[in-house]
Amino acid sequence: MPVDTTALVLGALALALAWPVPLLLARAKWPSAAPVLALGLWQSIALAGGISMIGSLLLAGLQPFGDDLWSRIGGAASHLFTGPLPAGVTLLHTFALSAAVLLTAHLVLNLALTSVRSRRQRHRHMELLSLLSSPLPDAPSTRVIDHPAPAAYCLPGARSVTVLSEGMIALLSPEQLDAVVAHERAHLRQKHHLLLDAFRSWKRALPWFPIATRAQDAVALLVEMLADDTARRSSGDAVLAEAIRIVDETGSAGTALGAPKDRRTPEQRRAALVAREDRLTTGHRTVGPALRALVVTVGVLLVVVPPVLVLTS
Containing 152, the helix (H) or strand (E) segment is strand 152-155
Q: What is the pLDDT of residue 260?
A: 67
Q: Where are the alpha helices (DSSP H) in 19-133?
A: 20-27, 35-62, 69-82, 91-132
Model pTM score: 0.92
Contacts of 233 (CB under 8 A, 6+ apart): none
One-character DSSP codes across 277-294: HHHHHS------HHHHHH
Give the mean pLDDT per block of 10 residues along the chain (313 residues): 80 96 95 97 97 97 89 86 82 95 97 96 93 89 92 91 94 96 96 96 88 92 97 96 89 55 79 93 90 98 98 91
Q: What is the pLDDT of residue 1?
A: 47
Q: What is the pLDDT of residue 162?
A: 96
Contacts of 50 (CB under 8 A, 6+ apart): 107
Would you tell me how many other CB atoms lie within 10 Å of the CB of residue 270? Answer: 15
Spatial separation of the C-alpha atoms in residues 10 and 219, rounded to whole Å = 25
Q: What is the pLDDT of residue 166?
A: 95
Q: What is the pLDDT of residue 269?
A: 86
Rg of the chain's alpha carbons, rounded to an integer?
24
Side by side, the strands of the sheet bearing 161-165 are 133-136, 139-145, 161-165, 152-155
Q: What is the pLDDT of residue 68?
A: 86
In order of 7, 63, 98, 283, the CA distances from 4 in angstroms are: 5, 7, 17, 51
